[in-house]
Amino acid sequence: MSAPQTPSLAAGQGTAKRRALYLARVLLPVVVLAAGIAIWELVVWLNDIPPYVLPAPTAVFQTLVKDWAVLSQSLLTTLLTTLEGFIAAAVGGIALALLFNQSKWLEYSLFPYAVILQVTPVIAIAPLLLIYLPQQTAVVACAWIVGFFPVLSNTTLGLNSVDRNLAGLFQLYGASRLQTLRYLKLPAALPFILGGLRIAGGLSLIGAVVAEIAAGSAGAGSGLAYRIAESGYRLNIPRMFAALLLLSAAGIVIYGLLALTSHLVLRRWHESALGKEN
């Protein structure tokens, strides 16, 4: 029979295993991405595909460098719109969810309209908003509309998911509604709120892009989505791919920052974050 492992040896093996898993999670996507780019480049080169049909990755990168002055300015415009819409969605969704939690009559009265706002395609709302609102306000409103409901619904769910035994304990000790909200409901709902914010971050970018496309079709715009539409009209397909690449990178960065924020807030006490460190 083999001798049992000492605690230090087992801990060392556990640390090595976690490091291997972490490296795999980082390296495998990079390997897949590199392989995809290489295959793309090879297909374009072997079939001699013209750039206006399918540009090679090298052509896209060259266009990104050459047109960086224009594309970076458009990227900043889109990110600013996304940030404004996200902040409006976060503040509005959390505030309204708190009001819903304090008044069921208010929730019954307004929540169905929030659902209607969510299920209505933003591509259908954007042209109307561009008619009745200034262009930048309309674009921000589209980003807000798309990101608002996930924050509202997740926060409402979190506030309503408090353990009944703890709620009864607070009631037994005579805690006020404000104390119960501050010390019990908000901490319990925090993982739900952060989850809603992670969803809203990406959706706000989508809403901004849709509104910019609508604004571009109306003859105005300066964001990345407008650059994509403009490049399509001019058959400048490498610039279109370069702008799309920047949009994808922006979405990944937004999600990564929000996920990191959620992990840092929850890592010391919530199971969803504790499990990642064990």
pTM metric for this prediction: 0.83
The pLDDT tens digits of the residues spanning 19-50 come to 778 787 878 888 898 999 999 999 989 888 88
77 in the same domain as 185: yes
- CA 54 from chain centre, in angstroms, equals 29
Range of the domain at 29: 1-48
On average, the pLDDT of the chain sits at 85
141 in the same domain as 20: no
What percent of the chain clears pLDDT 90, i.e. is strictly above it?
35
Overall average pLDDT of the 257-276 stretch: 75
Residue 273: what pLDDT? Answer: 56
Closest C-alpha to 255, from 206, 192, 212, 200: 200
Q: Within 13 Å of residue 68, how many CA atoms lie on the same side as its CB?
A: 5
> How many angstroms separate the first and last alpha carbons of the chain?
29
Supply the CATH number for residue 187's domain: 1.10.3720.10
166 in the same domain as 41: no
- For residues 6 and 136, the model is more confident at 136
137 in the same domain as 75: yes
Residue 1: what pLDDT? Answer: 47
Residue 226: what pLDDT? Answer: 85
Overall average pLDDT of the 67-74 stretch: 90
The pLDDT tens digits of the residues spanning 105-124 come to 998 898 899 888 888 888 88
The total domain count for the chain is 2
Helix (H) or strand (E) holding 142: helix 135-159
Question: Per the structure block, which two tokens stand in for 269?
Answer: 């006490």
